[in-house]
Amino acid sequence: MMTQTAHFIARPSEAAELKERRREPRLAVHAPVFVRSLIEEPGRPLHEGRTTDLNLHGAYLTVPRWKPLAVDEALLLSIRIPPHDQAKFPHPRFAACGCVVRIDQLPLEDQTETARLGLAVEFIDI
């Protein structure tokens, strides 16, 4: 018995849009993250945000805007993996340095915020 399979054939422009650019699969991990720019003075408070995606090479974060940020700026990250996501990621908490590769202006979550950013960060080997 022969089974039929449906095939989706995208037009060339659609195929380019659908192509996954990441080297590793993303994990949807919504975890607290504490962030500080490496060009800020040591001892300054960490800024709290949240991760939305995490993989072995980087993360996507949402953070309040605390200063002007630029692509290629280095950040110090401290990410706490929630217990319900620890089966997806082998470490309950880790610190990493990363380089900002994309900055997105996001809609405000509440009226107390002045600006909220989405940051795509690629981890740096140190």
pLDDT in tens, 4-46: 433 333 334 444 444 555 566 777 888 899 999 988 887 888 8
CA nearest to 99, candidates 59, 41, 48: 59
Please give the pLDDT value at position 71: 94
For the chain, what is the mean pLDDT? Answer: 78
Give how far Cα 15 sits from Cα of 8, 21, 24, Å: 10, 12, 19
Residue 30: what pLDDT? 84
Confidence of residue 120 (pLDDT cuts 50, 70, 90): very high
DSSP 45: P
Q: What is the pLDDT of residue 8?
A: 35
Residues contacting 93, CB < 8 A, separation 6+: 78, 79, 80, 81
**Domain architecture of the chain: domains with CATH:** 24-124 (2.40.10.220)
CB atoms under 10 Å from CB of 53, counted, come to: 16
| Confidence band, pLDDT 50/70/90 cuts, at residue 50 | very high
